[in-house]
Structure 1
């Protein structure tokens, strides 16, 4: 018996329409099912392969700002995807916590409308001891981003750069 991966995760929410819009329109997830009476929406990034990877349901009892989970991380396929999210988050005035290199990944930490921390990330084929987190600017050109990530990794210094 072994766990082969994460099946899905879910959040209790106050404002289901706002949260649905965020995860459907901004994050690009597909709604695969919903039940208005139960106040629940199921989402998938790969609806042809997986019915749902993410669920939202009305019923949150903790105050916005109180920690519910560490983060929800969404894997993307390319640096162009990361850069597109960088532009979209600016356009949508989404609260971005930090743009980073982890040495083995490039990512953007951000908050959804109810303050839940998310990350979009691109896996980089490097074996880097964690935690390693250094700020990087995804507004740069792709070759500059990769060069800066390599420089930050080679530089070492403090391997963990918290949010300023």
Structure 2
């Protein structure tokens, strides 16, 4: 509950990356991840993307001008939500077909995710929220190439056996 005169953040609006190769990065985020380009400016070498263009003009921005070496960490990760396990499994297949470097496929107990790297080494995640209240951090490897029923069964097993006992957030 907000107190009188209290200012509050209501959500993350968008984030962006400085890049070396704008064309390669645009192709990756547009074609491989499926984001929609909502605007661009060739003179300023900037591209705006949205996963929900009917709701948000942009959630992600790329602009030429990176100075850090490829592989140097610029951010922790960028996470992209999906709606279904089938969507997540489709990304598992797409990343394999495209040769996208995958760091790990995981269950967080409250989410399933695939950590991967874009062409300039920035870590991303596509994830599916799972309706569970699991204390974080919880991260155990899982294979999204398995049939759906086996993924859920393995996630349950890892939650029960894969470390500290399940403890809901209090």
Per the normalisation by structure 2, the TM-score is 0.92
- 2: CA distance, partners of 1:89 / 1:54: 20
Per-residue deviation, residues 98-155 of structure 1 (Å, max 9, x unmatched): 0000000000000000000000000001111111000000000000000000110011
Question: How many residues end up aligned between the 2 structures?
Answer: 159
Give the match for residue 80 of structure 1.
86
1:36 aligns with 2:74: no
- Structure 1, 22-31 or 148-157: larger mean CA deviation: 148-157
- 2: CA distance, partners of 1:47 / 1:55: 13
Contact 2:116 2:125 in 1 (8 A): yes
Give the match for residue 162 of structure 1.
none
Once the two structures are TM-superposed, the CA of residue 4 in structure 1 deviates from its matched residue by 1.1
Determine helix, strand or coil for the equivalent of 2:28. helix
For structure 1, list consecutive stretches of 5 or more residues without a partner in the other structure.
Answer: 160-164
Structure 1: which 4+ aligned runs deviate by more than 6 Å? none
For structure 2, list consecutive stretches of 5 or more residues without a partner in the other structure.
Answer: 1-6, 166-170
1:124 aligns with 2:130: yes
- 2: CA distance, partners of 1:156 / 1:137: 15
- 2: CA distance, partners of 1:94 / 1:156: 28
Once the two structures are TM-superposed, the CA of residue 158 in structure 1 deviates from its matched residue by 5.7
Per the normalisation by structure 1, the TM-score is 0.95
Determine helix, strand or coil for the equivalent of 2:133. coil
